[in-house]
């Protein structure tokens, strides 16, 4: 796709009796799908959440299936609401929901909670500086860690260091 091209998109009206467990992608949109249909797609909502859904081809029609029901429930979709899908050209879709008020709505918002690592008495003139420099961790090939995807990504330790250790470490780096 050329850089000036508009990303492919489609819309549909949500009807719970036919779209609660799976969603049929409109046939006229198939020309924008990859020739080899991916097994999964990522739906991104306006609230910042992501859903992984299975893409299935049945009788020459393409559907969002497994995982679609979670998207419907998390976004509390109601009959008659419009959904727009903007495809990134690979396997992700940005989904917008237009309620009956005809306005784009933000739903399924990510909840962000701030956590403080320090109390006020621990603060000094440097504030809350911490070192988050990645430090290699020894890999142990004998471990069968649950969720190990063998992706080749190395594990790093990003444990915050006390401010005193940061200043000691920077003095050692300069020598």
Count Cβ atoms within 10 A of the Cβ of residue 29 and give its class: 0-12 exposed, 13-18 middle, 19 or more buried.
middle
pTM: 0.57
What value does the mean pLDDT of the chain take? Answer: 73
Share of the chain above pLDDT 90, in %: 38
Q: Is the pLDDT of residue 139 over 50?
A: no
**DSSP label at 15?**
-
Q: Is the pLDDT of residue 145 over 60?
A: no
Residue-wise pLDDT for 35-75, tens only, equals: 888 899 999 998 889 999 999 999 889 999 999 999 999 99
Closest CA to 89 of 121, 132, 131, 42: 42
Check if the beta carbon of residue 104 is closer than 8 Å to that of residue 46.
yes
d(CA 8, CA 3): 13
Q: At 111, is the pLDDT very low, low, confident or very high (cuts 50, 70, 90)? A: low
Q: At 116, is the pLDDT very low, low, confident or very high (cuts 50, 70, 90)? A: low
Q: What is the reported pLDDT for 144?
A: 42
Q: At 109, is the pLDDT very low, low, confident or very high (cuts 50, 70, 90)? A: low
Query: 1-5, 42-46, 157-161 — which one is most confidently predicted on average?
Result: 42-46
Check if the beta carbon of residue 47 is closer than 8 Å to that of residue 104.
no
Residues 6+ apart with CB under 8 A from 79: 14, 15, 16
């Amino acid at each position: 796709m050329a850089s000036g091209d508009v990303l492919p998109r489609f819309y549909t009206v949500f009807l719970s009796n036919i779209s609660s467990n799976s969603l049929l992608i409109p046939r006229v949109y198939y020309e924008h799908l990859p020739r080899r249909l991916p097994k999964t797609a990522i739906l991104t909502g306006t609230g910042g959440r992501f859903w992984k859904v299975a893409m299935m081809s049945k009788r020459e029609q393409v559907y969002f299936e497994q995982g679609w029901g979670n998207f419907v429930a998390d976004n509390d979709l109601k009959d008659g609401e419009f959904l727009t899908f903007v495809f990134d050209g690979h396997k992700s879709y940005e989904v917008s929901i237009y309620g009956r008020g005809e306005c784009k709505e933000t739903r399924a918002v990510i909840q962000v909670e701030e956590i403080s690592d320090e109390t006020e008495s621990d603060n000094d003139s440097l504030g809350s500086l911490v070192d988050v420099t990645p430090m290699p961790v020894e890999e142990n090939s004998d471990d069968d860690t649950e969720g190990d995807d063998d992706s080749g990504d190395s594990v790093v330790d990003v444990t915050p260091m006390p401010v005193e250790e940061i200043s000691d470490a920077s003095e050692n780096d300069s020598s």
